[in-house]
């Protein structure tokens, strides 16, 4: 029996574990994939307070070591559901776990094109976040795949420092807000390939180009680039928690800055919840908020009993 079970060992989950342990609560963190979450794909962070530069993997490792040093328990398992009650039972593929409260910090997965060698090239020329990695391509030619608001934000940021930005959009038009579209179209160093999809990656150890196909003509071409950004959105994996934590139309858990869900004793933190910005710093903030709120809730329950 744990006081708090945390689902997910990304920055939000690990921060929650650190705060909860410092408050004297027993903590179990369940992670299904990679300790550190999406941040481990970033070879270098330059926008996280306290470090001029640090790799995402190193930052995640430091967070994990701090949580373990404080006495948090960590297990590898994929959660498939939660049974609600005075005691929460978290159901995993490898076992069942009991806790008095749960913090869901399951993150959100960047959408992929699911092309061959895609995972190998992430962090080696293939990126998801211009805020995180855009500065590494100053003066170079990059591609942005996507045409919605996420892509438009990436394009505008990259166009400030890159020599050229080529946009690969599968539709015959951009789909974001008109004001942002107008700003993109006004940039002289932005070129847009409409009705075009990426069908493959070039390069061995590092991305050197994209193979593109025109959806109207079927014609294919190779586009040499120094880097490419996948900007086709993120997808949360929250269906396992939908019974206890209502989801919005995009599948994110409906929870505000207090990280509380409508279910007493269940909180949501980080990229898995509804929020305006999904950065390491905002995930850490969520983890602290969720842990403090959860500890306060547990203390109130004990006082009432």
Active site amino acids: 129, 132-133
Buried b / exposed e along 6-27 (16+ C-beta atoms within 10 A): bbbbbbbbbbbbbbbbebebbb
Which SS3 state, helix, strand or coil, does residue 155 take? helix
Q: Quick one: tokens of 151?
A: 């892509």
CA distances from residue 138 to 135, 145, 160 in whole angstroms, order as listed: 5, 18, 9
Which SS3 state, helix, strand or coil, does residue 228 take? strand
Which SS3 state, helix, strand or coil, does residue 162 take? coil
- φ and ψ at residue 86, rounded to 5 degrees: -60, -35
Give, rounded to a whole angstrom, the gap between the first and last alpha carbons of the chain. Answer: 18
CA–CA distance, 126 with 43 (Å, rounded to integer): 11
CA–CA distance, 211 with 213 (Å, rounded to integer): 7
Q: At what angle do helices 178-185 and 149-159 cross, to 10 degrees?
A: 30
> CB count, 10 Å around CB of 198?
19
With beta carbons less than 8 A apart as the criterion, state whether 268 and 104 touch.
yes
């Amino acid at each position: 029996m744990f006081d708090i079970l945390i689902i997910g060992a990304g920055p939000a989950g690990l921060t929650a574990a650190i705060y909860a342990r410092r408050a004297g609560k027993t903590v179990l963190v369940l992670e299904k994939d990679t300790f550190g979450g999406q941040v481990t794909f970033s070879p270098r962070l330059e926008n996280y307070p306290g470090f001029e530069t640090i790799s995402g993997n190193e930052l995640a490792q430091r967070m994990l070591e701090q949580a373990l040093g404080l006495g948090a328990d960590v297990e590898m398992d994929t959660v498939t559901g939660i049974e609600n009650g005075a005691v929460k039972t978290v159901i995993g593929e490898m076992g069942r776990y009991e806790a008095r409260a749960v913090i869901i910090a399951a993150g959100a997965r960047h959408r992929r094109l699911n092309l061959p060698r895609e995972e190998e090239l992430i962090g080696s020329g293939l990126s998801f976040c211009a805020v995180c990695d855009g500065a590494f391509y100053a003066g170079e030619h990059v591609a942005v795949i996507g045409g919605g608001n996420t892509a438009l934000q990436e394009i505008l940021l990259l166009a400030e420092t890159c020599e050229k930005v080529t946009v690969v959009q599968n539709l015959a038009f951009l789909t974001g807000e008109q004001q942002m579209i107008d700003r993109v179209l006004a940039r002289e160093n932005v070129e847009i390939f409409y009705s075009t999809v990426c069908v493959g990656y070039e390069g061995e150890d590092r991305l050197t180009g994209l193979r593109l196909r025109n959806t109207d003509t079927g014609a294919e071409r190779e586009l040499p680039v120094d880097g490419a950004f996948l900007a086709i959105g993120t997808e949360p994996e929250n269906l396992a928690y939908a019974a206890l934590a209502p989801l919005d139309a995009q599948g994110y858990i409906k929870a505000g800055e207090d990280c509380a869900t409508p279910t007493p004793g269940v909180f949501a933190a980080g990229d898995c919840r509804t929020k305006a910005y999904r950065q390491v710093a905002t995930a850490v903030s969520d983890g602290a908020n969720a842990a403090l709120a959860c500890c306060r809730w547990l203390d109130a329950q004990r006082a009432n009993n």
